[in-house]
Amino acid sequence: MSEEAHPPISVLPSALAETQGDGPFVAIVRSRQELCRWLNNPLPGLRWLQVEGMLGDEEAWTEAAHSNSNVPLDVVLSDPALEFSHLYRLVDAYAVRAIRVTMPAAPGLTKAIRLAAALRLPVRVLPGQPSFAALEELQEALQFYLHEPTVDAPVEFFHSVLATMCDSEAGSLWTILEKDPDVFRHYDADGRIRVPRTSDPDQSEITSAGFVENHLSHLIAQGAECATCPWQRPCSGYFKWPDPAYSCEGVKRLFLTIQTAGNEIRQDVASFAAADEGALSEPRQATR
């Protein structure tokens, strides 16, 4: 499809978003005043609000629960360990509008995901290049997502990567986590596009256009472990950015856990299908 048919979604601060009109955009709000402005008078192109640093503002969530608009919210936690207990404040607002919780892979991640799941809130985890401690949190959170029967809201990136490994086309981590600059165009406060950067000077020619494809091609050409990685397709070099020397050993264990779960799901589906087929093919007794 052409870019005109699917233009990139601009992600930009509230003040800059005022000029977006019908073009698709996400407004970043950091105050109750900004939140109320967009809830009460959204522009046609607004897709959702990215709400930062406001989970502790109880009055803001009262407003979100009583606004007449249905604008979705992406509530960003910067410190899951300190902020997770405030997720209860989203319950009333979630009854009237779609809400997602976004958080980094950091201490407190699993607690935050457990509480979000209990409240049936979708979650997006931004892993970045996780440390050893963050990888342990991710592995614990993944086990909870895979095996806790009460979880019925998606936890990204686990949810879509699992779908990919069950033969669904969910895209790469760049798209799943809304970091592909060809799809989501992020702007700073001065209106400049925040092009993904890398610590590798040999990649200085890479720009936002075709970033993911160029980034992965460069990694493979340089002999990075992506070249032989069995999870090259869903990852597409995500964990090699910004530092291409980052070791993916711990990340690969995460992917292996998800792959194992995907294999089990496919086997279960195949078994159920075979059982149904067998039941249909059994001869029926003649009836009079």
Cβ burial 143-164 (10 Å sphere, 16+ → b, else e): ebbbeeeebeebbbbbbbbbbb
- Reply yes or no on whether the pLDDT at 152 is more than 50: yes
Residue 75 CA to residue 73 CA, distance in Å, equals: 6
The chain-wide mean pLDDT, for the chain, equals 88
Residue 104 CA to residue 100 CA, distance in Å, equals: 14
Confidence band of 2 (pLDDT split at 50, 70, 90): very low
| 148 Cβ contact partners less than 8 Å away, ≥ 6 residues apart | 117
CB atoms within 10 A of CB 32: 16
Helices (H), 69-210: 80-83, 91-94, 109-118, 132-147, 158-165, 173-176
Residue 231 CA to residue 215 CA, distance in Å, equals: 16
29-79 pLDDT, tens per residue?
Answer: 999 999 999 999 999 999 999 999 999 999 999 999 999 899 999 999 999
Q: Return the bridge partners of 124, or none.
A: 102, 156
Residue 118 amino acid letter: A
Where do the domains of the chain lie?
1-156
93-147 pLDDT, tens per residue?
Answer: 999 999 999 999 999 999 999 999 999 999 999 999 999 999 999 999 999 999 9
pTM for this predicted structure: 0.88
CB atoms within 10 A of CB 233: 12
